[in-house]
């Protein structure tokens, strides 16, 4: 097939859909260092993780040996409702940019949660149901994860309480309604419903816009104090999440093979790492086993630059310091990003797997981009490709465009793959600000970074 | 293939996508009566229609002889960005209902306009561009059509002015932003930017929530007074729109054939008729030519019951009485529906093609349903099928569920096809009302109906 006869959208058939998730840890040269129990500073064991997560997910969290883990039939059935997601050849964007590059994106937004988050939500809810739990607790930033887990819990008849970062809660009331439609209870965080919430409200009376770190603390507190009826569920950062999200990359690789393509460059936005980790999965497998060497770029917002400005150290996963410590790139668990419109990228840390891969050079580059540049790319993309992208996804669009323009300059016909993680239907207040010129960039001051990094425990 | 081995989603490949639209008028036993010039009451001729519409669309409006009309290459290319849309087997809904019926829906919401409206928008914009027009004017109710035409005009670099029914404009500010993102200018209707708007504001000072009929008057006025630079574009009712929307039914039929199915019952929501007309296209072809006889149900809201409570008569297509007259089921062009959340179904009239087919018994039944029943069905559907449906689409869901439950009672394994026209991401204020119990039904009083029908001209 000529490279320009590739269809606009490449779908797998149902029986080509992955039957197993890919566990990158089985192939990592240096595994990431283990989670530590915050009380003992010893590696967290299964029973400690089980206090927080459902048992199967706790096991997956610790699994560093099985290359592939079977996807349960009920999860595969649910996947079939909205997967396989299309791999799209961005012909119209290529034309707009007048680039010799061939641009592909894996579009994960064609489901009501609006993003890739459903891939892990349905798995976590399934295992919770199997275990006989009453329900789950979680946090949400942009609202995509909360919506996804609401859908998943609604499907399996589980209760769900969502702590939603307050600035998102206020900017996106419709997200709350959407979660309620699927039966979830949604609480703005920081809240007075938890000890940690009350403590943070008292400590930072002037900054109640919240953060993912705080919302995590609240959701974990509710789960661990429920006498085992509820467990906590997290939409990013964790090994289990990257495992479930590997469907993105597995499908992408099969779809690209169908049209005889392989990416030279892979671009993914990175907040906690769920999308980037999922997108690169089988490509990273190739890289770790020496079969191929795609150039991988992690894109983050200047306002929350964990990879580009953070340090690689053990730190708490939450602001309230109730979770295990993870070895990761972190800005410090007390870091409070300026209100930013890419709510899904406002996390102080980064997936330990992604952190280790970046530290070891398997993720080739991290790039921080400004919010106005991101929205400029988003609007360009929307007008020619017909999809209104989420601000998070638009970070990847921005860098994919930059790389395609470099190809224009050099004349190279590189193959670029990026992850279009979701849609921006609930982010139109931010688009409105961009269109009327009131959207600003908010990189953190060096002093603020130094201060929050000063909080990182010395381990 | 066993009927229960059908995949969850049935896609056509790109080269199976239709190359021509189906023009049902070529096969209708009784063609619908022609549009009349409101000044002369004589059938509107091409040059009169060209004063309002672009030339190619005006020709299509009058074409009653060509069974198939080729889809231009540029329109097909655009279609490939978001089509073919999936035909979905609603396994989870079937399980919830415990019905022997096999339920399929054609999902048109996987594009940023959120609905099927893009199918006609891109065609109308293409022809306008070909003719060298500067831009288009239009109206929008729920906002789906306005968004679709914004995307289409943005793609071809055409100006667009959208008159948006004021109650929608106020309930859905994000719709306005979305249209602006694609470069459109959005004005709440009735407005003081047109003569007809000012007149209606003066006549109904207490009812400024607006109606599609009024917004149409405003958009037409701007187009016809632009010295040919702008033409008007309409997203429903017209023959040309049903022509373009025929892709829905053509694709549906091919997809059903792939899994050896044919619908016993076809259910579509009907406001102006664009979705129902599109959905039934090739199935109606079979019916008109005696090849098959699916039972076709048009579903409308009790609050705007043109087929079930209207009269079949010549009437104006707009409230300001500036458009040609159409022979159709109508509640009277002055009918002001109570503020309803299915903004796309608030039109006083009905497509002349749909009206004639209903009058002649080819559309077997029209059914009016209440808003609370519709939202109840919508939430049920969302929880098991994972898609938050638009209120308009949910009218079809409600009746599809009712029919499937009848099958449960009778034990019949009927095949039901319904049109899931779009998503409800911009309708969450209405879901919120439903969830908190403040959503009400608003069937019009008999006196109000009698009064507005009294306005219908005696022709």
Spatial CB neighbours of A299, under 8 Å, sequence gap ≥ 6? A267, A268, A269, A270, A366, A367, A368, A369, A395, A396, A398, A399
Query: How many whole angstroms separate alpha carbon A115 and alpha carbon A110?
Result: 7
Query: How many whole angstroms separate alpha carbon A414 and alpha carbon A254?
Result: 19
Q: Measured between alpha carbons, how far is residue A205 from residues A135, A202, A218 in Å?
A: 32, 6, 17
Q: Strands A185-189 and B68-70, how do they pair?
A: unpaired
Give contacts of A435 with chain B, Cβ < 8 Å.
177, 180-181
Report angle CA B10, B12, B18 to the nearest 5 degrees. 135
Give contacts of A428 with chain B, Cβ < 8 Å.
174, 177-178, 181
Helix axes B173-181, B144-156, angle to 10 degrees: 10
For residues B129 and B231, the answer to whether their CB atoms sit within 8 Å is: no
pLDDT score recorded for residue A201? 93
Count of other CB atoms within 10 angstroms of residue A137: 24
> Tell me: the pLDDT tens digits for A280-330?
999 999 999 999 999 999 999 999 999 999 999 999 998 888 889 999 999
Q: What is the dihedral of CA B110, B111, B116, B122, to 10 degrees?
A: -150
Contact B177 A426 (CB under 8 A): no
What single-letter DSSP state applies at residue B66?
-
Count of other CB atoms within 10 angstroms of residue A278: 30
Assigned token pair, B232: 């008007």
Q: Is B432 on the interface with A (CB under 8 A)?
A: yes
Q: Is B437 on the interface with A (CB under 8 A)?
A: no
For residues B63 and B70, the answer to whether their CB atoms sit within 8 Å is: no
Q: Measured between alpha carbons, how far is residue A148 from residues A122, A430, B298 in Å?
A: 8, 21, 33
Rounded to 5 degrees, φ, ψ at B226 are: -105, 10
Query: How many whole angstroms separate alpha carbon A49 and alpha carbon A54?
Result: 8
Q: How far is CA B258 from the centre of its chain?
A: 27
For residues A240 and A60, the answer to whether their CB atoms sit within 8 Å is: yes
Would you say the ipTM is above 0.90? yes
What single-letter DSSP state applies at residue B169?
H
What single-letter DSSP state applies at residue B40?
T
Give contacts of A114 with chain B, Cβ < 8 Å.
425
> Tell me: the pLDDT tens digits for B274-313?
999 999 999 999 999 999 999 999 999 999 999 999 999 9
Query: Who among B383, B387, B425 is closest to A155 (CB)?
Result: B383
Question: B interface mutation test: which of A1, A5, A8 has the most B CBs within 10 A?
Answer: A8
> Tell me: the pLDDT tens digits for B390-438?
999 999 999 999 999 999 999 999 999 999 999 999 999 999 999 999 9
Contact B155 A384 (CB under 8 A): yes
Spatial CB neighbours of B268, under 8 Å, sequence gap ≥ 6? B275, B276, B279, B280, B296, B297, B298, B299, B396, B418, B419
pLDDT score recorded for residue B339? 66
Secondary structure (3-state) at B164:
strand
Q: How far is CA A14 from the centre of its chain?
A: 25
Query: Who among B155, B174, B382 is closest to A112 (CB)?
Result: B382
B22–chain A nearest CA distance, Å: 24
Question: A interface mutation test: which of B183, B394, B428, B429 has the most A CBs within 10 A?
Answer: B428
Q: Measured between alpha carbons, how far is residue B221 from residues A328, B327, B361 in Å?
A: 62, 22, 36
Query: How many whole angstroms separate alpha carbon B129 and alpha carbon B74?
Result: 11
Burial letters for A328-355: b for 16+ Cβ neighbours within 10 Å, e otherwise? bbbbbbbbbbbbbbbbbbbbbbbbbbbb
Q: Is A132 on the interface with B (CB under 8 A)?
A: no
Q: Is B95 on the interface with A (CB under 8 A)?
A: no
List the pLDDT tens digit at each of the 459 positions of chain B.
688 789 999 999 999 999 999 999 999 988 888 999 999 999 999 999 999 999 999 999 999 999 999 999 999 999 999 999 999 999 999 999 999 999 999 999 989 999 999 999 999 999 999 999 999 999 998 899 999 999 999 999 999 999 999 988 988 889 999 999 999 999 999 999 999 999 989 988 877 788 888 899 999 999 999 999 999 999 999 999 999 999 999 999 999 999 999 999 999 999 999 999 999 999 999 999 999 999 999 999 999 999 999 999 999 998 888 889 999 999 999 887 776 677 678 789 999 999 999 999 999 999 999 999 999 999 999 999 999 999 999 999 999 999 999 999 999 999 999 999 999 999 999 999 999 999 988 788 788 888 888 889 988
What single-letter DSSP state applies at residue B24?
G
3-state secondary structure chain A: CCCCCCCCEECCCHHHCCCEEECHHHHCCCCCCCCECCCCCCECCHHHHHCCCCHHHHHHHHCCCCCEEECCHHHHHHHHHHCCCCEEECHHHHHHHCCCCEEEEEECCCCCCCECCHHHHHHHHHHHHHCCCCEEEEEECCCHHHHHHHHHHHHHCCEEEEEEEHHHHHHCHHHHHHHHHCCCEEEEECCCCCHHHHHHHHHCCCCCCCCHHHHHHHHHHHHHCCCCCEEECCCCCCHHHHHHHHHHHHHHHHHHHHCCCCCCEEEEECCCCHHHHHHHHHHHHHHHCCCCCCEEEEEEECCCCHHHHCEEEEEECCCCCCCCEEEEEECCCCCCCCCCCCHHHCCCCCCHHHHHHHHCCCCCEEEEECHHHHHHHHHHHHHHHCCCECHHHHHHHHHHHHHHHHHHHHCCCCEEEEEECEECCCCHHHHHHHHCCCCCCCCCCHHHHHHHHHCCCCC
The residue ranges of chain A whose pLDDT is under 70 are: 1, 339-340, 343
Q: Strands A185-189 and A9-10, how do they pair?
A: unpaired
Q: Is B111 on the interface with A (CB under 8 A)?
A: yes
Q: How far is CA A433 from the centre of its chain?
A: 24
């Amino acid at each position: 097939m000529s490279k320009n006869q590739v269809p606009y959208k490449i779908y797998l058939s149902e029986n080509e859909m992955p039957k197993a998730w890919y566990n990158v840890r089985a192939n990592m040269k240096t595994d990431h260092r283990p989670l530590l129990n915050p009380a003992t500073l010893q590696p967290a064991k299964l029973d400690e993780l089980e206090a927080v997560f459902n048992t199967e997910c706790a096991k997956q969290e610790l699994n560093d040996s099985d290359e592939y883990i079977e996807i349960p039939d009920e999860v595969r059935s649910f996947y079939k409702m909205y997967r396989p997601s299309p791999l799209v050849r961005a012909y119209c964007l290529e034309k707009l940019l007048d680039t010799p590059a061939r641009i592909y994106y894996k579009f994960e937004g064609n489901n009501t949660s609006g993003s890739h988050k459903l891939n892990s939500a349905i798995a976590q809810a399934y295992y919770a149901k199997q275990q006989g739990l009453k329900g789950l607790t979680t946090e949400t930033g942009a609202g995509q994860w909360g919506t996804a887990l609401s859908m998943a819990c609604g499907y399996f008849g589980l209760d769900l309480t969502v702590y939603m970062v307050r600035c998102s809660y206020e900017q996106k009331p419709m997200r709350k309604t959407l979660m309620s439609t699927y039966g979830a209870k949604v609480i703005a965080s920081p809240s007075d419903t938890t000890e940690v919430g009350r403590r943070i409200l008292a400590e930072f009376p002037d900054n109640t816009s919240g953060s993912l770190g705080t919302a995590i603390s609240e959701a974990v507190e509710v789960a661990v104090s429920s006498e085992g009826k509820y467990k906590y569920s997290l939409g990013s950062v964790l090994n289990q999440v990257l495992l479930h999200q590997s469907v993105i990359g597995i499908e992408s690789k099969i779809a690209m093979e169908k049209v005889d393509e392989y990416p030279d460059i892979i671009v993914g936005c990175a907040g906690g790492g769920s999308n980037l980790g999922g997108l690169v999965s089988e490509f990273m497998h190739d890289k770790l086993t020496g079969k191929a060497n795609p150039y991988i770029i992690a894109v983050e917002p200047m306002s929350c630059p964990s990879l580009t400005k953070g340090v690689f150290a053990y730190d708490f996963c939450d602001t309230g310091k109730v979770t295990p410590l993870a070895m990761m790139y972190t800005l410090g668990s007390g870091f409070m990003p300026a209100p930013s419109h890419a709510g899904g990228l406002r996390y102080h840390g980064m997936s330990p797997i992604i952190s280790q891969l970046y530290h070891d050079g398997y993720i080739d580059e991290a790039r921080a981009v400004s919010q106005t540049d991101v929205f400029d790319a988003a609007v360009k993309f929307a007008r020619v490709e017909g999809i209104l992208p989420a601000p998070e996804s638009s970070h990847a669009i921005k860098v994919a465009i930059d790389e395609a323009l470099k190809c224009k300059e050099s004349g190279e016909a590189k193959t670029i793959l990026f992850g279009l993680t979701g849609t921006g239907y609930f982010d139109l207040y931010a688009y409105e600000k961009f269109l009327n010129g009131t959207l600003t960039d908010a990189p953190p001051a060096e002093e603020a970074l130094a201060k929050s990094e000063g909080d990182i425990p010395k381990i």
